[in-house]
A and B are shown apart, each in its own frame.
Chain A
């Protein structure tokens, strides 16, 4: 690790003042991503601002929904009674990620900023436009005779600069429930929809979110889901537990009196450069009866624009099946189970 100066902030305003406009300063909360990247030499801050003591660790509920401090741990959010009852998709997504140890350390604010887990990003000897703009994308395998290892990469939202998949489970659920991110800067506070918070790589993959360099995430707001909403998160991975998603789906759904789908929000994980909201799937589902055919059509629509790379083409079929299974589970619990 590079040497750095450690300072402890005492309030959000103090944290922002200490950050100032120093591009070499980093906030540290849970540290589970930042310290890992510092050991690898990917992150080399000269100042580390500890934001674990800003008083942002509460969860409160009112008629608008749930207000979650940025420093609430993943464990506390997943185990919160209201979250389990009213936003089960959130609880399921968080518990599908990492291990208990890491969920105890990791914060919801940090989860929004966890960047990506692409092996090329994490290895400073490898080309990566996200880490070092202009060096190329190792995962694409652009150099003659050098393969790109891209089995974990995205098939939606990629660009010639970067094909990494967004690794978060929680953020997929945040997009599905239309959460808002609370952001503070020295000048003002603002709310950003979770869906808009993440930036597609385009030709500036090094800029991953809409959080400014002088801004701090102070919390997340979960709006009440529509009356009668069912929600669920399902993750498919290489092993039963403690692995990043190959594919995942978070869905919030309501049925009208005639049993037709009158509200659907669909977000996909493991397949997109960002937590991927699928308007195409939602449009295909709206006003449809909740049948296998309708679900299959929605899943096909979701991946109509998918671009597979050498080793990750399987994610298209797997991602479709994941979404169909969640939809089946939501309308016929148990129906999605395979014998």
Chain B
């Protein structure tokens, strides 16, 4: 028991606690107020500003990251709750000179306009194609990407990008020809 005063309010509640996050394969030791969300820890304390803050209430998906290979909204979880699990952000996918296939496909198929939702869209698409049952139809792609809003309305390009990467993975030769 690390806390003798079980169930009692704590005057020192606003004091920082040690938090260790493993982001894109690297371990980071931080001291954080327990109120800091995973999203704010990534952006404000670790500089992973590719992950965006949109609604900050789990409705827009701009803050989507992978935790233990699952996509989650990083705004609705505390940093302190995400220790000892691998976290992947958009920075962990590819670099400008070596883009991830989904990043490349978003460029090729006009999957964005202003770009604010894009890293969340891409993280969601990566989870969808690499860690979940692949979507069988465009309808299914739309349904399973519905947790990522795009106010520019780039949806047709997003669906197209995901479909093409899915098809290329199924049939590498045809995928390259397309």
- Are A7 and B2 neighbours in the complex by a CB distance under 8 Å? yes
Distance of A35 Cα from B78 Cα, bound (Å): 8
Q: Complex formed: what's the CA distance from A39 to B143 in Å?
A: 28
Find out whether the CB atom of B81 lies under 8 angstroms from the CB atom of A3.
Answer: no
Interface of A, helix, strand, loop or mixed by DSSP: mixed
A47-B17 in contact given A100-B124, A100-B147 (Cβ < 8 Å): no
Roughly how many angstroms separate A188 CA and B145 CA in the complex, as a whole number? 43
* A240-B143 in contact (CB<8A): yes
Q: Smallest distance from the beta carbon of A147 to chain B beta carbons, Å?
A: 24
A24 lies within 8 A of chain B by Cβ:
yes
Q: Are A5 and B7 in contact (CB under 8 A)?
A: no
Q: Give the B interface residue count (CB, 8 A).
A: 39
B127 x A18 contact (CB < 8 A)? no
Give the distance to chain A from B64, nearest Cβ to Cβ, in Å.
6
Interface contact B71-A104, CB-CB below 8 Å: yes
Judging by beta carbons under 8 Å apart, are A99 and B76 in contact?
Answer: no
In angstroms, Cα B132 to Cα A25, docked, is 36
CB-based contact A101/B143 at 8 Å: no
> How many interface residues does A have (CB within 8 Å)?
37
* CA gap between A6 and B77 in the complex, in Å: 13
Q: Known contacts A1-B35, A39-B57, A105-B77; is A20 also within 8 Å of B14 by CB?
A: no
When distances are taken between beta carbons in the complex, the residues of chain A under 8 Å from B76 are 31-32, 35-36, 102, 105
B contact residues around A99 at 8 Å (CB): 61, 146-148
Q: Among the listed B3, B35, B57, which residue makes an inter-chain contact with A4, where contact means beta carbons less than 8 Å apart? A: B35
**Interface of B, helix, strand, loop or mixed by DSSP:** loop
Q: Chain A's nearest CB lies how many Å from the CB of B70?
A: 4
Q: When the two chains form their complex, are residues A4 and B34 in contact, meaning their CB atoms are under 8 A apart?
A: yes
Given contacts A104-B72, A241-B142, contact A3 B64 (CB under 8 A): no
Asked if B37 is an interface residue, CB under 8 A from chain A, the answer is: yes
B residues in contact with A75, CB < 8 Å: 70
CB pair A102 B73 closer than 8 Å? yes
Contacts of B160 in A (CB 8 A): none
A231 within 8 A of B: no
* Nearest chain B CB to A104 CB, angstrom units: 4
Beta-carbon contacts under 8 Å, A1-54 to B:
1, 3-7, 17-22, 24-25, 28, 30-32, 35-36, 39, 46-48, 50, 52
- A-contact bits for B139-155, CB 8 A (1 contact / 0 none): 00011101110000000
Q: A interface vs B, CB < 8 Å?
A: 1, 3-7, 17-22, 24-25, 28, 30-32, 35-36, 39, 46-48, 50, 52, 75, 98-102, 104-105, 240-242
Please list the residues of chain B having a beta carbon within 8 angstroms of any beta carbon in chain A. Answer: 2-3, 6-10, 12-14, 17, 33-35, 37, 56-58, 61, 64, 70-73, 76-78, 80-81, 124, 127-128, 132, 142-144, 146-148
Question: Can you list 16 A-B contacts with CB-CB less than 8 angstroms, sorted by A residue number?
Answer: A25-B7, A31-B77, A31-B78, A36-B57, A46-B9, A46-B10, A99-B61, A99-B146, A99-B147, A100-B124, A101-B71, A101-B124, A104-B71, A104-B72, A240-B146, A242-B147
